[in-house]
């Protein structure tokens, strides 16, 4: 950490502001109000003193908005205006009083009133409504529990289970997670929705959906309605008591452990925060000066809460950033013109990037570089940052020395470095100096496992432990964790290592537990990462290095001598980076847990060279001392390279291709090595987030003069190549193709069958030809069959079934497969089909040579990605098309699956109608037949009229099911218009092969569940809701072996030459065989499995156990799908899907002996054996 800078003549700037800026002058803290605040020992008394003392001043501000109606859809959205609207201290306190009154009075639905000591949890981003709720809790004596912003329900569950709140308040953007949380927490009686505008259709529909989801379970109310109701009631008096240790709030922190812990905040602690802040910011800054601050930190973070209290206690104005993702942060800062700024390294990085761009722009006009940089500083400071910042503090993570110097020079004010934590409630080390008070005593303690000792030379080093005024008393309901947080003498263990360079002068060194906190606030357990990456065959040893001054990791790697001894460092570096990225993706790691670059070290870490302990463990202080300078230089080189690349890219201008611009801009923005920047890589896969996307967008817009919305950059399927396509508008030069937007409307929230007309996808003349020009198929077996999806799990068995059939008639099976060329495609298919025909390898080899053709194609590309002569040959010779290919993804939304699943189906329909009409078999999904009420379409129903509209949401598999439904709609139309013979198959879960060893779908839900139950040795008492008597109900699992499913599909589609026929291809038995029986069979087979009566306990313990599995098991476990098992399912004695036609056809054709098979203990035993063959058990 650099020494505090010399005075930047801040006093002169403040004097000038008092003289020239009336708003600044009016906002000076009032000593009389400060004294009034300090006289109150009660929390509500101190708050009320501030609110009354500064009654007429603006307290809080939020961005002004107006409603905009889409001219196409007619739907309304809120558009930001370039101004803030304020609420006074009196107005804020009135809102707080109205809400406290409404909540202490109960509510219109009859829910009982809140009482002092009741818990209120809040989920959402900081803002006026959030602040109102938080202060209202203090007003009425309730305990506020701010929840982590953006967290899914599964992360909220442990906190809610521990605190048992009666009310959950959530902003409209968090409402879905809030609904799930309410359903998982029985104590919650009311869901109060804030930041919700019912005039906006998206808001209103989300609010109504929440009400429907929680009907009969909890009341769903608007915050504004509570405020309006409270205004009509006699005002409630602020809660007062004489207990300074009364629980007021819980601030949950996971810190370096990953386990949520609720730090107790008492009335005395919060009161002290109001007292300490009453005179303005003075922690080394310009004390007692007017405070205008932009709030962008969440209220679940102690810094966000402290900055809010600080501003209100000294009569300042807090401006809330307009978007929780901070995409508007710099617009908000420019409009608010803050006097105080809370800095984090990422914000400083963005300011630095903007400064470089501005200096480049000015330099291109001929201005010398020093003058250009000086002019850029003025532009950024006075324009982008508002021009009146006189106080800047950094408290979440320290700035690098270079960034510290740059930011201080740019702002013209010292940067105050503060160290503190949730547990200390305030900074205890400021600019490397211990603060006394609040610290009353401190010590450094040896950390022998990391090699830090108080006897170290030249300075003592050890974990900082403190006693302090305002120190938290412990963690809520976690006495053992609390006990571990304090040593035997009552000192709080901070978990951070410091060096004491002089009495009371403390320099941060490291974090205990091998954990690094990066500059964005992420905790990274480097030891765990080293263990994972060391499994790479290319890596012999690895030391992962991170800094709280940087946003990404680096590493030192000793390559495997046998594999890479002859390779040069550049080759080793590329191999190692690729290997680590592959391992990280397989383990489900975050982007920031992947080192962005490495130093290649040929000399191993040993005991002899002092880098390993006698036990063979890393000696981190020695490794840091040995490699630290080189790693820090690598960070510096990356930063320098970014600056140079910006200038070169700007200078090249139009000579740079869009893809070159995008690739270079991504490297500049993210600091990744060029080896990781590939056209097919997504921006988010490289570690990009909303903040870096803002910078990335700015760079691209200045280079190409094209607006690149952040949404385009952050979309899951948006690769760098697709962003380049957006830049150059390549799609405009191509033949227009149907898209989700052109078919359904860009912002459609529901899709209708009437939207999906074939003339939008193909030449209308194909649909209106006279029968003579498009003869229907004749009876008899198909001679030439075209199959898509042959490399998929089901597709490979379909291919084998069809090979048997076409071989008998002397015909041919043609498979369309994604690949670089026909040879690669053929190799992929042969490998898959060999496995599917493993019981007859010689037969397959003979038949494949004579009857199998494989073409490299892309069914979602124009003309299937085939040369026109090849396509015409297929149109002439094919008798039947079997479309089994699809992008199967249960997370992606419908508009992302439109092209691969809907447009692709339309293109195959077009092929089926070209030259002559062909039979068409379509593998759909039973989910496409599900209706909103949970029932399913009958096999005889017309999908267009029985399910004319489907809602789009982010529920499990909504997008995938809708895309398959759309395919069914198109096929219905094709049959009606042209007589196209269509057979639709709707399978449910497709399970392992009943006979072939090792043939099971490793990534499907069933296999993941089976693996997870066996490896953890845990299962719930029942996967289904229990009956009234607490016993397991009769349930059914609707899965079928893949061999039966493939045989059924092939048989059912072989002879349809005229009709449109649908089969719900499901396990129809009312046999009581369910997931619970599978566990029974596993236990009977000798697998040690413990059953949990408490489903939630099973879920939590299983998730924790899965995270601890070896990487190869964890990757294929239920971990990514655990949310689907958070609550017991509904038990149905048999299949809910009507399948009479399917059952009858199976009997008539003799498929599988003429009956749909039941699952058995032998089948489960076979699946376990398959898992063992794959080395998973």
What is the rounded distance in angstroms from the CA atom of residue 604 to the CA atom of residue 614? 15
Is the omega angle on the peptide bond into residue 372 within 30 degrees of 0, that is, cis? no
β 429-430/554-559 pair status:
unpaired
What is the rounded distance in angstroms from the CA atom of residue 73 to the CA atom of residue 1099? 42
Are 513 and 393 in contact by the 8 Å Cβ rule? The answer is no
Are 250 and 264 in contact by the 8 Å Cβ rule? The answer is yes
Alpha helices in 380-429 (DSSP H): 401-411
Q: Which two tokens stand for residue 1156?
A: 């749909």
Indicate the SS3 state at residue 867.
Answer: coil
Q: Which two tokens stand for residue 933?
A: 């009420």
Is residue 964 marked as binding? yes
What is the rounded distance in angstroms from the CA atom of residue 16 to the CA atom of residue 459? 44
Q: Which two tokens stand for residue 840?
A: 């007859």
CA distances from 281 to 278, 291, 390 (A): 9, 8, 10
Is residue 1074 marked as binding? no
Question: Which residues lie below 8 Å from residue 1168, measured CB to CB, with a gap of 6+?
Answer: 1010, 1014, 1082, 1085, 1087, 1177
Indicate the SS3 state at residue 540.
Answer: strand
Is residue 265 marked as binding? no
CB-count exposure of residue 847 (10 Å: 0-12, 13-18, 19+): buried
CB-count exposure of residue 465 (10 Å: 0-12, 13-18, 19+): buried
Q: Which helix (H) or strand (E) holds 509?
A: strand 505-511
Is residue 694 marked as binding? no
Is residue 155 marked as binding? no
List the one residue out of 398, 368, 505, 379 whose CA is nearest residue 444: 505
Is residue 794 marked as binding? yes
Q: Residue 928 gets which letter from DSSP?
A: G
What is the rounded distance in angstroms from the CA atom of residue 89 to the CA atom of residue 863? 65
CA 732 to chain CA centroid, Å, is 32
Count the Cβ atoms, other than its own, within 10 Å of residue 72.
11
Is residue 517 marked as binding? yes
Are 123 and 193 in contact by the 8 Å Cβ rule? The answer is no
What is the rounded distance in angstroms from the CA atom of residue 1032 to the CA atom of residue 123? 35
CB-count exposure of residue 977 (10 Å: 0-12, 13-18, 19+): middle
* Interior angle at CA 404, CA 403 and CA 405, nearest 5: 90
Q: Which helix (H) or strand (E) holds 1051?
A: helix 1042-1053
Are 75 and 201 in contact by the 8 Å Cβ rule? The answer is yes
Is residue 301 marked as binding? yes
Are 936 and 926 in contact by the 8 Å Cβ rule? The answer is yes
Is residue 41 marked as binding? no
Question: Which residues lie below 8 Å from residue 368, measured CB to CB, with a gap of 6+?
Answer: none
β 247-253/1039-1041 pair status:
unpaired
CA 565 to chain CA centroid, Å, is 39
Is residue 454 marked as binding? no
What is the rounded distance in angstroms from the CA atom of residue 851 to the CA atom of residue 615? 62
Indicate the SS3 state at residue 517.
Answer: strand
Is residue 197 marked as binding? no
Q: Which helix (H) or strand (E) holds 88?
A: strand 76-88
End-to-end C-alpha distance for the chain, whole angstroms: 50
Is residue 1154 marked as binding? no
What is the rounded distance in angstroms from the CA atom of residue 640 to the CA atom of residue 617? 34
Are 686 and 752 in contact by the 8 Å Cβ rule? The answer is no
Q: Which two tokens stand for residue 490?
A: 């009552």
Count the Cβ atoms, other than its own, within 10 Å of residue 917.
22
Is residue 793 marked as binding? yes
CB-count exposure of residue 1046 (10 Å: 0-12, 13-18, 19+): buried
Q: Which residues are annotated as a binding site for AMP?
A: 301, 396, 422, 496, 508-511, 517, 617
Q: Which residues are annotated as a binding site for NADP(+)?
A: 791-794, 818, 828, 924, 960, 964
Q: Which residues are annotated as a binding site?
A: 301, 396, 422, 496, 508-511, 517, 617, 791-794, 818, 828, 924, 960, 964
């Amino acid at each position: 950490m650099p020494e505090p800078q010399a005075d930047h003549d801040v006093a002169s700037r403040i004097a000038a502001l008092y003289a020239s800026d009336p708003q600044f002058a009016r906002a000076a803290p009032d000593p009389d109000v400060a004294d009034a605040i300090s006289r109150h020992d009660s929390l509500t008394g101190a708050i009320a003193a501030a609110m009354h003392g500064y009654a007429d001043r603006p307290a809080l501000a939020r961005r002004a908005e107006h409603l905009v109606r889409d001219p196409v859809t007619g739907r309304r959205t809120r558009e930001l205006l370039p101004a803030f609207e304020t609420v006074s201290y009196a107005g804020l306190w009135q809102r707080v009083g109205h809400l406290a009154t409404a909540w202490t009075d109960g509510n219109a639905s009859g829910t009982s009133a809140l009482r002092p000591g009741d818990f209120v949890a809040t989920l959402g981003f900081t803002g006026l409504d959030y602040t109102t709720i938080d202060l209202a809790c203090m007003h009425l004596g309730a305990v506020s529990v701010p929840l982590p912003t953006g967290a899914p329900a599964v992360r909220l569950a442990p906190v809610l289970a521990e605190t048992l709140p009666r009310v959950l308040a959530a902003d409209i953007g968090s409402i879905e997670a809030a609904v799930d949380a309410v359903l998982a927490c029985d104590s919650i009686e009311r869901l109060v929705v804030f930041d919700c505008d019912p005039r906006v259709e998206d808001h209103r529909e989300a609010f109504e959906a929440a009400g429907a989801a929680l009907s009969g379970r909890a009341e769903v109310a608007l915050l504004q309605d509570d405020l309006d109701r409270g205004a009509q009631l006699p005002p409630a008096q602020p809660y007062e008591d004489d207990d300074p240790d009364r629980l007021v709030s819980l601030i949950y922190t996971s810190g370096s452990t990953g386990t949520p812990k609720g730090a107790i905040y008492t009335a005395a602690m919060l009161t002290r925060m109001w007292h300490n802040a009453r005179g303005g910011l003075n922690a080394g800054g310009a004390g007692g000066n007017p405070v205008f601050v932009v709030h962008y930190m969440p209220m679940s973070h102690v810094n966000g809460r402290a900055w809010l209290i600080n501003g209100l206690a000294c009569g300042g104005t807090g401006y809330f950033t307009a978007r929780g993702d901070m995409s508007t942060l710099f617009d908000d800062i420019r409009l608010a013109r803050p006097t105080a700024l809370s800095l984090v390294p990422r914000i400083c990085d963005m300011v630095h990037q903007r400064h470089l761009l501005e200096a480049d722009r000015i330099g291109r006009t001929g201005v010398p570089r020093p003058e250009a940089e000086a002019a850029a500083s003025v532009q950024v400071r006075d324009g982008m940052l508002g021009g009146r910042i006189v106080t800047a503090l950094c408290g979440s993570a320290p700035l690098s020395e270079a960034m510290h110097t740059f930011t201080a020079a740019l702002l013209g004010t010292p940067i105050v470095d503060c160290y503190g934590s949730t547990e200390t409630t305030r900074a205890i080390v400021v600019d490397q100096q211990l603060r006394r008070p609040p610290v009353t005593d401190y010590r450094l303690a040896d950390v022998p496992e990391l090699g830090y000792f108080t006897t170290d030379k030249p300075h003592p080093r050890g974990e900082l432990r403190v006693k302090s005024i305002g120190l938290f008393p412990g963690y809520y309901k976690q006495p053992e964790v609390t006990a571990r947080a304090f040593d035997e003498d009552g000192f709080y263990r901070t978990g951070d290592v410091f060096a004491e360079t002089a009495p009371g002068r403390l320099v941060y060194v490291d974090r205990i537990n091998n954990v690094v906190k990066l500059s964005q606030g992420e905790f990274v357990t480097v030891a765990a990462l080293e263990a994972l990456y060391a499994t790479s065959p290319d890596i012999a040893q690895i030391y992962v290095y991170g800094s709280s001054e940087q946003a990404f990791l680096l590493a030192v790697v000793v390559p495997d001598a046998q594999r890479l001894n002859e390779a040069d460092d550049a080759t080793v570096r590329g191999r190692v980076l690729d290997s680590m990225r592959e391992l990280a993706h397989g383990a489900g790691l975050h982007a920031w847990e992947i080192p962005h670059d490495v130093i290649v070290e040929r000399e191993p870490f040993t005991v002899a060279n002092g880098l390993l302990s006698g036990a063979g463990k890393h000696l981190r202080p020695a490794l840091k001392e040995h490699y630290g300078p080189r790693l820090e230089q690598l960070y510096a080189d990356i930063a320098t390279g970014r600056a140079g690349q910006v200038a070169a890219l700007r200078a090249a201008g139009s000579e740079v291709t869009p893809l070159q611009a995008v690739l270079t801009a991504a490297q500049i923005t993210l600091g990744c090595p060029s080896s990781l920047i590939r056209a097919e890589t997504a921006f988010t896969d490289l570690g990009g987030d909303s903040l870096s996307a803002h910078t990335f967008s700015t760079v691209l817009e200045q280079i190409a003069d094209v607006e690149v919305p952040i949404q385009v950059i952050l979309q899951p399927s948006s690769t760098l190549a697709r962003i380049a396509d957006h830049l150059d508008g390549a799609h405009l030069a191509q033949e227009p193709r149907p898209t989700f937007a052109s078919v359904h409307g860009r912002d459609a929230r529901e899709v209708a069958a009437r939207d999906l007309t074939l003339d939008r996808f193909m030449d209308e003349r194909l649909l209106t030809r006279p029968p003579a020009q498009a003869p229907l198929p004749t009876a008899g077996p198909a001679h030439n069959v075209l199959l898509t999806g042959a490399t998929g799990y089901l597709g490979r068995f379909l291919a084998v079934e069809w090979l048997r059939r076409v071989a008998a008639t002397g015909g041919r099976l043609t498979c369309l497969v994604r690949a670089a060329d026909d040879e690669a495609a053929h190799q992929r298919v042969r490998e898959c089909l060999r496995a599917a025909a493993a019981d007859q390898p010689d037969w397959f080899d003979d038949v494949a040579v004579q009857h199998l053709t494989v073409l490299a194609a892309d069914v979602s590309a124009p003309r299937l990605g085939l040369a026109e002569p090849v396509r015409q040959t297929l149109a002439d010779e094919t008798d039947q098309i079997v479309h089994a290919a699809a992008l199967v993804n249960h997370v992606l939304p419908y508009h992302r699956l439109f092209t691969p699943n809907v447009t692709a189906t339309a293109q195959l329909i077009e092929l089926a109608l070209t030259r002559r009409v062909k039979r068409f078999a379509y593998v759909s999904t039973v989910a496409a037949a599900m209706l909103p009420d949970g029932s399913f379409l009958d096999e005889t129903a017309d999908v267009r009229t029985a399910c004319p509209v489907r809602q789009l949401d982010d529920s499990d598999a909504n997008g995938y099911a809708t895309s398959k439904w759309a395919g069914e709609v198109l096929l219905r139309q094709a049959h009606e218009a042209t007589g196209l013979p269509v057979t639709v198959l709707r399978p449910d879960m497709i399970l392992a092969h009943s006979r072939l060893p090792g043939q099971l779908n490793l990534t499907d839900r069933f296999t993941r569940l089976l693996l997870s139950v066996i490896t953890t040795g845990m299962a719930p008492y029942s996967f289904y809701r229990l009956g009234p008597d607490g016993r397991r109900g009769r349930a059914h699992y609707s899965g079928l072996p893949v061999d039966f499913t493939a045989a059924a599909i092939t048989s059912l589609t072989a002879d349809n030459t005229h009709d449109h026929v649908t089969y719900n291809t499901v396990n129809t038995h009312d046999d009581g065989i369910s997931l619970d029986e599978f566990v029974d069979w596993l236990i009977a087979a000798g697998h040690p499995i413990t059953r949990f009566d408490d489903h939630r306990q099973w879920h939590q313990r299983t998730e924790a156990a899965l995270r601890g599995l070896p990487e190869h098991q964890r990757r294929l476990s239920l971990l990514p799908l655990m949310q689907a098992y958070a609550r017991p399912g509904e038990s149905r004695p048999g299949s809910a899907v009507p399948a009479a036609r399917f059952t009858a056809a199976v009997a008539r054709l003799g498929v599988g002996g003429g009956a749909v098979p039941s699952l058995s203990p032998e089948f489960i035993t076979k699946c376990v054996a398959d898992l063992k063959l794959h080395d998973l058990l």
